[in-house]
Structure 1
């Protein structure tokens, strides 16, 4: 059964849903959403086990796509455009491939429909091992940084730390995330023969290795109309590294995809 996701909204116009990545929350995309809200009704949901959304023991891409589909149906959105980053990008792809009639177009940021190996499990372990309730934010950040590699996104991980009354806690189901990490790093094999014929854009951070030109044949097999764009001087967190360049790319694609007058 799908979960009822927490979400925030901005603007008015054609509907647009932005799906955040692993360890994130919808609010990480607030600046992008507020910029797009000049022309669109933007929805920022928190994924299951993230932010203010309900927790669950499992979090497969099929389940997360159904969560988003339930939001679309509950809000009576007519074929919204769906933008997803990283884990959210895989969720967006899963939704488009499994329920193509529900989606007007899909934009995927710095991820491909393939399997990855990475250090995410070490992030979960480090966060679970911290007694954040008894520590201050500065102490938590220092200890977390000491337990991870020098290139770990410590400041990004710290954004999930929230004060609840007189204690801190992670707004993230770390146990479920850790147990589901293999599925989160993979892509559903059941969708390998599926196709989404609608508008599709794949945006890569030029300094990231998550979305490479070698991924394009696999992308086009699933998304025949896919266009690939690279944003210079951006890593995996494109929206934080180059927000203006990302917005330019998204606005151009959205205008073409839904035939909005750019003026």
Structure 2
């Protein structure tokens, strides 16, 4: 009996140890200089920043993030953006990073806004590449985070099930064509589609729901560092400035520039993107 009890205790210790080892993101570090944290968008690998890292690593130390469960990386048992938020803050503290710059694309911008408004004393400049504090309000200005949480279309099981089509062998071809409205380059579109195909469906579903139902528009008023918002075209350039301005009205110090570009600005307008990035970071 004592032997069985010891085995049970050891098993619990091993389970707890494995749970503690699980991380909500992986990090690749390259370059030397001031630290920069680069966070990709929904379903994407940190490799989405490859060219940006090549541009920056001569002057900056780049910490390239990939969320667990995205783009073929191992998923964790309890995925969630709030967990990513807390672990990113802990990572900065643990690594003793001094006022790291954060660059995020889409969902990565949302994460940048979340960590910077939660722990503003830890972070330096923030660059939001076509990312918003409350995505749901882009389509519906009257959207409310609390009511959305009770929306049947955002039921966890239903959203996860909506990603079942990823099992279709033709998914990458289909998704690459659909991504034409987000990126001009067909090769890039196929790569993004492949990252989604390789992503964990449960992770995609849970993080998508959290992104849709979390409103940071009031929280961003806590941000004290300079913020650059690079937007893409929403209908027209004038409409883009209007929509982005509404999202960031509680952070009037943010600088907003709109590119003649689709969603993946760093792919579609790289020279414009680097020019804006360099001017802001220097």
Task: Give the TM-score normalised by the residue count of structure 1.
Answer: 0.76
| Counterpart mapping for 1:1-263 below 5 A | 3=23, 5-51=25-71, 52=73, 54-60=75-81, 62-116=82-136, 127-131=163-167, 135=169, 139-142=170-173, 144=175, 151=181, 155-160=190-195, 170-188=197-215, 191-192=218-219, 194-206=221-233, 212-221=241-250, 223-232=251-260, 234-255=261-282
| Change in CA separation of 1:196 and 1:142 when aligned onto 2, cut-off 3 Å | closer
Q: Is the 8 A contact 1:56 1:176 kept in 2?
A: no
- Greater gyration radius: 2
Matching residue of 1:259: none
Gap regions ≥5 residues in structure 2: 1-19, 140-153, 184-188
Question: What 5-or-longer segments of structure 1 have no aligned partner?
Answer: 162-169, 256-263
- Counterpart of 1:46 in 2: which secondary structure? strand
Count matched residues. 238
Query: Which whole-Å CA distance do the structure 2 matches of 1:131 and 1:212 have between them?
Result: 38
2:240·2:258 contact (CA, 8 Å) conserved in 1? no
What displacement does 1:112 show? 1.9
Preserved contact between residue 41 and residue 106 of structure 2 (Cα < 8 Å): yes
What whole-Å deviation, never above 9, does each CA across 1:68-126 have from its counterpart, x for those lacking one? 212222322111000111100000000010100110111111122123278x9999756
After superposition, the C-alpha distances for 1:145-192 in whole angstroms (9 at most, x for unaligned) are 68x69757752443317xxxxxxxx44221232244232124335954
Runs of 4+ that moved beyond 6 A: 120-124
Q: Is the 8 A contact 2:217 2:247 kept in 1?
A: no
Tell me by how many angstroms 1:10 deviates: 2.1
